[in-house]
Amino acid sequence: MARVRTVAPEDFAPALAAAAGHPTSSQLIALGSLPAWAVRPELAVALLTFQRTLAEHARLPERLRELVRLRIAFHNRCRSCMATRSGAAVADGMTDGAVCSLERPDEADDLTAREKAALLHADLVATDHLAADDTSFERLREHFDDGDLVELCAHIAVCVGFGRIAATWDLVDALPDAFRADDASPWFDGATVR
C-alpha cells in the first residue's frame, strides 16, 4: 500500500485535471506518481509544467532519454517508474530488446556508443555521483556537446531525484503483479506505454 495518500484521477483538482489531459483511473499506471502529487495540485501542475518544458526543448533523442530514465529507475528501485515506457521513445526506435539490454548496457549490441556513454554517466550519478570526474566528462564529450551535456545532466537529475521520492512512496497498488515485488526488474517486455 502506498505510503502517501493518492488522489483518484477523477478527483484531481480542475487545474491539474486540465494540465494532465483529464485522465481516468484506467490510465492510472501511465500517470506514475502524479496521483500522489495530486494531494498538492499546485505542485503537481508545476511538476508537469517543468517536465513538459524540459521535453519541449529537448535535443536528445526520446529513445536515449527513456533508456536513461529506465536505467535510473532500476537503480532507484522505483517500481512505478519501471512499469511504464514512453510512447514517444517507442516511436523513436526503443524496442523491448533495447530495454532488456539495460541489464548489462556495456555488453549490449543494440545500444549505440552514445547511448552507452549516457547510461554510464547515469549509473555514476545514480550510484556514486562523486565518481563523475574529469575523465568521465571527457568520455561524454566524445558524444555530446556542452548543451547536450547540460540537458543529459538535467534529465538524470530529474530521474534520480523524483524517482527516489516515488520509490519511497511505494506506489505499486495499481501496477501489474510483475512490478509489485521488491525485486522487480524493467528488463522484460509487457510494460505500459505512457
Q: What is the pLDDT of residues 162-174, one digit of tens each?
A: 999 988 898 877 7
Sign, CA torsion 94/96/98/102: positive
Could you say which of 14, 42, 57 is where a domain stops? Answer: 57
Model pTM? 0.85
Phi, psi of 84 (to 5 degrees): -120, 155
C-alpha cell at position 169: 512512496
Domain shared by 159 and 77, yes or no: yes
Domain shared by 123 and 178, yes or no: yes
- Domain limits at 52? 1-57
Domain shared by 96 and 118, yes or no: yes
- Mean pLDDT, range 110-120, rounded to an integer: 96
Domain shared by 31 and 77, yes or no: no
Domain shared by 110 and 88, yes or no: yes
Are 54 and 155 a contacting pair, CB within 8 Å?
Answer: yes
Domain shared by 125 and 40, yes or no: no
Q: What pLDDT does 114 receive?
A: 97
Could you say which of 14, 40, 57 is where a domain stops? Answer: 57
pLDDT band at 30 (very low <50, low <70, confident <90, very high): confident
Domain shared by 90 and 157, yes or no: yes
Domain shared by 83 and 107, yes or no: yes
Does residue 186 register a pLDDT over 80?
no
Domain shared by 103 and 189, yes or no: yes
Domain shared by 86 and 176, yes or no: yes
Domain shared by 74 and 163, yes or no: yes
Does residue 73 register a pLDDT over 70?
yes
For residue 152, give the nearest of 72, 49, 86, 34 by alpha carbon.
Answer: 72
- Mean pLDDT, range 87-98, rounded to an integer: 90
Could you say which of 57, 76, 94 is where a domain stops? Answer: 57
Domain shared by 105 and 170, yes or no: yes
Question: Which of 38-52, 111-125, 165-179 is predicted with the least confidence, judged by mean pLDDT?
Answer: 165-179
CATH number at residue 105: 1.20.1290.10
Question: Domain count of the chain?
Answer: 2
